[in-house]
Amino acid sequence: MNHPTSVYFHTRTALLIAIMAFASGVSAKDFDALQEITICAEMADDSKRAACYEALGQVVLKANQDTAAGDLPDSIGGSDFSEKAGIEVATNRGLVTRCKKTLDKTQWFYFFEDGQVWKQVDRKKRRHKDCNFYVDISEDAFGYIMAIEGKERTIRIKRVR
């Protein structure tokens, strides 16, 4: 039986390999990262799964043969990044009218005036004396971040309803 941490580690490793492959110029038609990662992740046998991930690594090595060590393609950072630097991130404002701790008391649910429910996904401890405050929710590369008006700290959240 696979240990959940082991599966997470192998899946994360394969995802990193896939990202590196795309960064190295492997086109989507040549390499379907999600499909390849899924195939590896679903393998029950540890040695076969490791071999599958090793094969993904070979795809990356082959793609990197034409790329000089340490050089990144222009699609990563560089001009693309500086062109996008001036773009504002869309932010949505809302009123939290109620908060409730999760059953394990490690996270919070935030209930909004318009009926939306968001859940804290980071494990940082929070205390809320009064759950009647305005927030700004913005999206980043990893999901959503909620900033409480007047507070410096942010909370990583996901939408439940």
Average pLDDT, the chain: 75
- pLDDT at position 39 is 81
Tell me if 57 sits within 8 A of 64, measured CB to CB.
no
Residue 49, pLDDT above cutoff 90: no
Residues 128-135 have a mean pLDDT of: 89
| CA-closest candidate to residue 76, choices 12, 146, 19, 138 | 19
Give pLDDT, residue 135: 93
- Is 60 exceeded by the pLDDT of residue 87? no
The tokens describing 74, both together, are 């222009």
Confidence of residue 76 (pLDDT cuts 50, 70, 90): very low
Does the pLDDT value for residue 120 go beyond 90?
Answer: yes
Whether pTM > 0.85 for this model: the answer is no
Residue 56: pLDDT over 80: no
Q: Is 144 left (phi over 0), alpha (psi -120 to 50) or beta?
A: beta
The single-letter DSSP state of residue 103 is T
> What is the predicted pLDDT for the residue at 10?
61
Q: What is the pLDDT of residues 140-152, one digit of tens each?
A: 888 999 999 998 8
Mean pLDDT value across residues 129-134: 90
Contact 155, 145 (CB under 8 A): yes
Between CA 154 and CA 136 the distance in angstroms is 10
Specify the 3-state DSSP secondary structure of 106: coil
Q: Positive or negative CA dihedral for 150, 88, 124, 102? A: positive
Q: Residue 136 and residue 149: Cα distance in Å, rounded?
A: 7
More confident residue, 132 or 11: 132
